[in-house]
Amino acid sequence: MLDVGLSSELDDAGLGTFVNRIAESGPDDATVAAHEEITARIGAGDAPAGLRRLAEALAASVGALPEQRRPSEDPVSVLSAVRAESLVVLEDFTPAEVAAAVGTLVEDGFRVAVAATDTARLEGVRASGPLVEDLPAQTPAEQRRLRRLLVTSAPERRARAGQQLPPVDAVPTVDVVGELCRRAAQRASDRDGSAMVHGLLEELDPERLEAVTAVARCAGRTLGALAPGRSWERDVLSQLVHNRHRQEFDALVADTAQAMVAAERTLHTPRVTVVGPLPRDAADLLHRYLDFLRSGGRNRNLFRAGVQRDVAPALRVLRVDGAEPTEAEHVLLALEHVELAERLTRIDAGCRVLDIPAPRNAEELAQLADGLTRVAAASRSVAALRHDVLFLHPSSPLSVPDLQTAERVAGAILDYGQHGSAAQAAARLDDAARALTESLPRGSVPVELRDVVEALRARDAQAYAAALGRLAAARRDIADESEAVELLRGLRETSPGLAEAWERAAVAGAAGFGFVWPVPLEELLSGLPGTDALDVVILLDAAELGVNRLLVTGAAPRLVAVASGARRSGTNTLLGVLAQAGAPAVRGQSPALGSGRVVHLPQARRGPRGGGVESAGKRQA
């Protein structure tokens, strides 16, 4: 048994040791070249998959007894064996059977390299499938993409070769067309009166339209600012729109604003209290007395002035910091307190008239002031809207009699400013249909694009969405077919025969796209293909090869060794290592072996079936 230097550790260092042991078993020029290439790949972190699978199989076999294989578990054909195993041995296969096996693998989509030390043996597999004298120059990614496109090829898609479609951004989206179709149909329904507004706006010049739109925008903004949780704001605004309680509202706004200023000022002044009932004209008396003091008058206990005598009842019930006000500054504070009380009384009365909850503290007073400010702004914007709508046209049939109409008209104006009218929407749909038709040469419009155009002209949003889905599918087909044509053109530059064979297979509906590459073994080892360039390597004269030729696993992830003819003795051979790795063996079906089964050649699209199968791990190579 060959010591390949493996343990349970299969890191890059272990693989490097494994490769070194294999190369040391028979150094020659081809082995040295393959050894250097594989070592470089391992160092770059791109260890060949076939080599790693061989190493894993050998590592698993170290110190373990071979597992007994039941006949039902053995592969029933070369194809099933290669699909399931990375290492396979073909026992007693005739050249015809090998050719049939190669043909079956190629038809299944495998890219097969058939290698041999005796190049004369390669002639028997040249008719096994699409033949290449050298590997295609395409990258593995390009090959994968081309094969995927050929597998999914269909007559309908191939018929799209050369077809054109407008760019994606030139086709209106479903949302845009849906909105335009809805707007185009609005003139017929016009349940909310928007069509009437749009019809009037169509006759305006751009400058006048911009002014009206600005007024509607202001109305929409102020109406939207009304607090949603305060129904009284809309109720008061509705009354103002109907010109009711305008005077009471204005007075309430003024009193509330002044009360807010006075209440805020009293937060930083001495406290004022009232200890008894004030005279009815207390505010006027305090005003006159304050003027008296500011003009040079003096408080006297004897021979009091008339103003001092008149204000005395009010001063007796007022306290500033607990004392009766005598100085001008204290009299001013008392006056402001009395005036604030009177304003709060008027605010309560105004709230009752307008059916507004009266404020009970400073916080609710601030909320009332904010609400009244919003209502006042909305009232002014609605009044401006009513004025502009009234003069939209000399014989304008439109008016704004209430709040609901104002909101509806403002929305219709803004809607027109953003999207246009029904007639304009219809014109945009027609323009889009005409642009799509004229974007392609006459007579070359695909049926899917014609469906899109017809849906636009019919103002049918649902039909447009369905047609757009079909157009997207057609766009993908055209792109796929164009890509397939381009990739085939690139393949044809270096491998014309393979490109022609794959193209014929696509038309015939083949499922696999592979090729066969007959190559001398030394040439294959001297220039190992890159990653994913091949799927399987078949060694025709494996019985004559030494362990060093196992470096060929660096060319593909699967290795099939054909063990026919005379064999080298001993376990330190290629077949001996494969037996150590537990590679399954498939027996040929030659009549010389007594099977009497017919071997189907590649053109019958069949490979060898049945045949005796046993584990190569149980036999000595």
Quick check: 608 pLDDT over 50? no
Domain identity same for 99 and 242: no
Q: Is residue 531 part of a domain?
A: yes
More confident: 341 or 566: 341
77 φ, ψ (degrees, to nearest 5): -160, 165
Helix (H, G, I), strand (E, B) or coil at 611: coil
Are the CB atoms for 602 and 107 separated by under 8 Å?
yes
pLDDT tens profile 556-599: 999 999 987 655 555 678 998 998 888 999 988 754 333 323 33
Look at the block and give the residue holding tokens 């230097």. 5
Question: What one-letter code names the amino acid at 394?
Answer: P
Domain identity same for 503 and 603: yes
pLDDT for residue 527:
93
Question: What one-letter code names the amino acid at 121?
Answer: R
**89, containing H or E segment:** strand 87-91
More confident: 162 or 125: 125
Are the CB atoms for 100 and 607 separated by under 8 Å?
yes
Are the CB atoms for 512 and 108 separated by under 8 Å?
yes
User: Domain with 597 in it: what CATH number?
Assistant: 3.40.50
Are the CB atoms for 323 and 249 separated by under 8 Å?
no
Please name which of 447, 453, 455, 454 lies closest in space to residue 473, comparing C-alpha atoms: 447
Are the CB atoms for 536 and 66 separated by under 8 Å?
no
Domain holding 89, by residue range, is: 12-136+495-618
Q: Is residue 178 part of a domain?
A: no
Are the CB atoms for 114 and 103 separated by under 8 Å?
no
**187, containing H or E segment:** helix 186-189
CA dihedral 195, 200, 202, 203 (to 10 degrees): 160
Q: Does residue 512 come out as left (phi exceeding 0), alpha (psi in the -120 to 50 range) or beta?
A: beta
Q: Is residue 335 part of a domain?
A: yes
pLDDT for residue 613:
34
Give me the mean pLDDT over the 482-495 stretch. 92
User: pLDDT band at residue 399, thresholds of 50, 70 and 90?
Assistant: low
Quick check: 254 pLDDT over 80? yes
Q: Which of 64-68, 393-397, 459-463: highest mean pLDDT?
A: 459-463
Domain identity same for 132 and 267: no
Please name which of 262, 245, 264 lies closest in space to residue 376, comparing C-alpha atoms: 245
Q: Is residue 65 part of a domain?
A: yes
pLDDT for residue 77:
84
pTM: 0.60
Strand order in the sheet with 613-615: 515-520, 111-116, 536-539, 559-563, 87-91, 584-587, 613-615
Residue 119 is given by DSSP the state G
Please name which of 389, 390, 392 lies closest in space to residue 409, comparing C-alpha atoms: 389
User: Hey, how many other C-beta atoms are within 10 angstroms of the C-beta on 37?
Assistant: 20
Q: Is residue 127 part of a domain?
A: yes
Q: Is residue 611 part of a domain?
A: yes
Domain identity same for 510 and 595: yes
Give me the mean pLDDT over the 44-60 stretch. 90
Domain identity same for 132 and 264: no
Give me the mean pLDDT over the 414-436 stretch. 79
Domain identity same for 129 and 48: yes
Q: Which percentage of the chain shows pLDDT scores above 70? A: 83
Distance in angstroms (rounded) separating the CA atoms of residues 448 and 12: 55
Helix (H, G, I), strand (E, B) or coil at 222: helix
More confident: 613 or 320: 320
- Give me the chain's average pLDDT, please: 81
More confident: 408 or 505: 505
Are the CB atoms for 548 and 31 separated by under 8 Å?
yes
Please name which of 513, 455, 490, 560 lies closest in space to residue 101, comparing C-alpha atoms: 560
Domain identity same for 509 and 411: no
Q: Is residue 460 part of a domain?
A: no
User: Hey, how many other C-beta atoms are within 10 angstroms of the C-beta on 354?
Assistant: 19
Q: Which of 392, 419, 446 is the endpoint of a domain?
A: 419
Look at the block and give the residue holding tokens 């097969």. 112
pLDDT tens profile 580-592: 888 999 988 754 3
Q: Which of 353, 386, 419 is the endpoint of a domain?
A: 419
Distance in angstroms (rounded) separating the CA atoms of residues 474 and 448: 7
Distance in angstroms (rounded) separating the CA atoms of residues 196 and 412: 9
User: pLDDT band at residue 618, thresholds of 50, 70 and 90?
Assistant: very low
Residue 124's contacts (CB-CB under 8 Å, 6 or more residues apart) are: 95, 96, 98, 99
Rg, the chain, Cα only: 49
User: Hey, how many other C-beta atoms are within 10 angstroms of the C-beta on 97?
Assistant: 24
Question: What one-letter code names the amino acid at 377?
Answer: A
Please name which of 278, 416, 296 lies closest in space to residue 334, comparing C-alpha atoms: 278
Count of domains for the chain: 2
Distance in angstroms (rounded) separating the CA atoms of residues 24 and 37: 15
Question: What one-letter code names the amino acid at 367?
Answer: Q
Are the CB atoms for 93 and 611 separated by under 8 Å?
no
Q: Give Cα 203 distance to the centre of its chain.
A: 44
Please name which of 608, 537, 609 lies closest in space to residue 48, comparing C-alpha atoms: 537
Helix (H, G, I), strand (E, B) or coil at 572: coil
Helix (H, G, I), strand (E, B) or coil at 393: coil
Give me the mean pLDDT over the 196-206 stretch. 70
Q: Which of 419, 448, 476 is the endpoint of a domain?
A: 419
Q: Which percentage of the chain shows pLDDT scores above 90? A: 29
More confident: 601 or 76: 76
Domain identity same for 391 and 518: no
Quick check: 276 pLDDT over 90? no
Query: DSSP characters for 137-183?
Result: SS-HHHHHHHHHHHHT--HHHHTTTT-----GGGSPPHHHHHHHHHH
110 φ, ψ (degrees, to nearest 5): -80, 140
Are the CB atoms for 289 and 308 separated by under 8 Å?
yes
Distance in angstroms (rounded) separating the CA atoms of residues 89 and 83: 13
User: Hey, how many other C-beta atoms are within 10 angstroms of the C-beta on 263?
Assistant: 16
Domain identity same for 384 and 248: yes
Q: Is residue 197 part of a domain?
A: no
Distance in angstroms (rounded) separating the CA atoms of residues 526 and 522: 6
**Cα dist. 51→16, 33, 407, 518, 578 in Å?**
11, 16, 78, 21, 12
Residue 490's contacts (CB-CB under 8 Å, 6 or more residues apart) are: 137, 138, 142
Domain identity same for 513 and 381: no
User: pLDDT band at residue 203, thresholds of 50, 70 and 90?
Assistant: low
pLDDT for residue 316:
80
CA dihedral 123, 124, 130, 132 (to 10 degrees): -20
Token reading at 414: 């803004």
| Burial annotation 102-114 (CB, 10 A radius, 16+ → b, else e) | bbbbbbbebbbbb
Question: What one-letter code names the amino acid at 270?
Answer: P
pLDDT for residue 195:
65
Look at the block and give the residue holding tokens 């026919």. 564
pLDDT for residue 612:
34
Give me the mean pLDDT over the 399-420 stretch. 73
